[in-house]
C-alpha cells in the first residue's frame, strides 16, 4: 500500500537525497550548474510549496513531488488559476510500482481543491518515462511554453485542463 502525504521536517534530508538520486540515476544532472543542490534542498521547497511524499506500509520514502501555485519561488510556468508541480522523483529501487502515478494524481487533486483550472509542468527532453506518464493522465504538449533555463537545457511544457 502506498500513502501520499505531506513531508515531515525529519524527512527533508532523505527526500533531498532521494530526489537527487532519482535524477542522477537517469543521467539528468550533467552540466547542472547548481541544480543538484536545488534538488537536495527539500526543506526550502517545503517552506515555500507543498512537498509531498509517497511512503509504503513501513514508512519508507518511495518518491516525492513539489506542488506549487503561481507566485511561489518554484513556479516556473503557472499563472493565475493554474497549478504546477516539479521535481517528481521516484527512488530507482521503487520504480514500476505506480508511485509516480500516485504522486501525479495527488497533484491533480490538490490543484482542483485549490480552484485551479489547469496544471502546467516542464520536463527535460530526455525524461521520456515521465512524458509517457503525463500522456496517460491527459497532459498535452504545450510547445509555446517550452523554454531553456540555460544553454543546452531544453524544457518541454505540458498542460492538463481540469
Domain positions in the chain are 3-161
pLDDT value of position 150: 80
pLDDT value of position 40: 94
Q: Render pLDDT for 47-97 as a digit per residue (tens, 0 to 9).
A: 999 999 999 999 999 999 999 999 999 999 999 999 999 999 999 999 999
pLDDT value of position 33: 62
pLDDT value of position 88: 97
Four-way CATH pick for 3-161: 3.50.50.60, 1.10.150.110, 3.90.79.10, 3.40.630.30: 3.40.630.30
Query: What is the mean pLDDT of the segment spanning 25-32?
Result: 74
pLDDT value of position 42: 98
Are residues 114 and 81 in contact, defined by beta-carbon separation less than 8 angstroms? no
- Band (35; pLDDT cuts 50, 70, 90): confident
Query: What is the mean pLDDT of the segment spanning 105-128?
Result: 96
Are residues 160 and 139 in contact, defined by beta-carbon separation less than 8 angstroms? yes
Cα–Cα distance, 64 to 41 (Å, whole number): 13
C-alpha cell at position 71: 507566485
- Please state the pTM of the whole predicted model: 0.94
Cα–Cα distance, 121 to 87 (Å, whole number): 10
Amino acid at each position: 500500500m502506498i500513502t501520499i502525504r505531506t513531508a515531515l521536517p525529519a524527512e527533508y534530508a532523505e527526500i533531498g537525497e532521494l530526489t537527487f538520486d532519482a535524477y542522477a540515476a537517469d543521467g539528468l544532472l550533467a552540466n547542472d550548474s547548481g541544480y543538484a543542490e536545488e534538488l537536495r534542498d527539500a526543506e526550502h521547497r517545503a517552506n515555500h510549496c507543498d512537498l509531498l511524499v509517497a511512503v509504503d506500509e513501513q514508512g519508507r520514502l518511495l518518491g516525492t513531488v513539489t506542488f506549487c501555485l503561481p507566485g511561489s519561488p518554484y513556479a516556473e510556468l503557472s499563472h493565475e488559476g493554474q497549478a504546477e508541480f516539479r521535481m517528481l522523483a521516484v527512488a530507482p529501487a521503487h520504480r514500476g510500482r505506480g508511485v509516480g502515478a500516485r504522486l501525479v494524481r495527488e497533484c491533480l487533486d490538490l490543484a482542483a481543491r485549490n480552484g485551479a483550472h489547469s496544471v502546467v509542468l516542464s520536463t527535460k527532453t530526455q525524461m521520456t518515462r515521465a512524458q509517457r506518464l503525463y500522456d496517460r493522465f491527459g497532459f498535452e504538449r504545450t510547445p509555446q511554453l517550452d523554454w531553456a533555463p540555460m544553454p543546452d537545457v531544453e524544457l518541454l511544457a505540458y498542460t492538463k485542463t481540469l
